[in-house]
Every structure is written in C-alpha cells, then in structure tokens.
Amino acid sequence: YGRNFDAAEMPLYCAAISFKAIYDTADIRTTGGGDVAYAMDAPPRDSTLVSRLRSAGAIIYAHAHNSEYNGGSGDPEGASKVERPYIGAGGARESWGGVSCNPYDTERATAGSSGGSGSSVAANLAVCSICETTGGSCRGPANYHSTALVVPTKGMISFDGSIGATPYQDRPGIICRSVKDAVTVLDAFRDKKTGTYFDAGDL
C-alpha cells in the first residue's frame, strides 16, 4: 500500500499482531501448540478475527505461545502442566514451543494459557496480541505483564475458526500496551459491511 494508505479503512496499518495459537491463520502453522506429525499444517482459511485484522492493515506476525491445545496449566493429566518451578502461579507449556517465560524476569511465570500473548506484547515483539479466556487466561497474563486488556462479553466478537476448551465460556481478548490500542483493535473487529461485530460463523 506504500505511503498512500487509507487510515480510515486500515486503522491497523503495519501493526504487528500476534494471536494465541488456537486461531486459524492460513499462512502460519496452526496446531494449538501441539507437536505431533503436523508438518506445515496451515488451515485452509483465516479465522474471522485474523481475517478482519488483515483487512484493517495489520501484519499477522506470529502465533503466541499457549498451553497445548488450549488446556489449562494446572491440567491434572499433565498435558500442559508447567513443571519447572517458576515464581508465581500459572503458566503455559506446549510440546511445540516449551514453557513460556516472562520477559521482565525469565524465572517468573506468565500466568494462564495465554501467557505467550502477554509476553509477546511485554517484550515488544507485537503491538497487540489476541488471547483467549475460559477462566482467567487473558486476565492473568495481562496482569503479570503490566499490559492493557479488553475482554468483551462472550459472543460480542467472533470465535469462529478457533480451538476452544469450553464452548459456554471461551471468548477472545485483546492484550495491548495501552487501552487506546486495545480499543482500536476492538473496533477493527467490526464487519466493514454491516458495522456490527456479528459473525454468522458463530451460529
């Protein structure tokens, strides 16, 4: 788009955004943090949220580290349990990327299954990151990384094209450096044709 982009149409022009690895991203391996014989298992299309941010001019920079298959870090089966004795409660571990670390102190936990979303923003690897919460998986990482957080009411923004844990509770969240940035991202989730957040894919 060069320098002559439409700021109203692309309010996130060249903003680097990371997504928790549960959101389908057509050009990035999307496995929810699992590491079996997936090879380059990129989905056939973007999730609704990824698609809407791309159309707003964002650069979908990377998948953020998360608890494997969107599981909790205290999983009694041990599938995503953080075994290393980090300082602080909670954390995220996956077979693909290992254990997430807090960039302020790598011996401190990142909290919640969206720990990579919080740490990617705190480390300035991304301007914002789209997390997901079933319980406190966005709130914990935002708190541990001193970032701003917006978690809309369930159903307000789309969850289509993502790996969920509990269908009655899962919902996306937005972690950014500032509330202003988080609100800008939230506004970019509106459907450009209707002006609403509604997504028929959620039905």
The letter for the amino acid at 80 is S
Of the candidates 47, 73, 100, 137, the residue annotated as catalytic is: 137
Of the candidates 20, 47, 114, 117, the residue annotated as catalytic is: 20
Verify whether residue 137 is a known catalytic residue: yes
Cα separation, 55 vs 71, whole angstroms: 30
Of the candidates 51, 67, 73, 113, the residue annotated as catalytic is: 113
CA neighbor of 188 nearest in space, from 68, 91, 60, 38 = 60
Residue 117, judged by CB atoms within 10 A of its CB (0-12, 13-18, 19+), counts as: buried
CA neighbor of 133 nearest in space, from 152, 156, 109 = 152
Residue numbers annotated as active site: 20, 113, 137
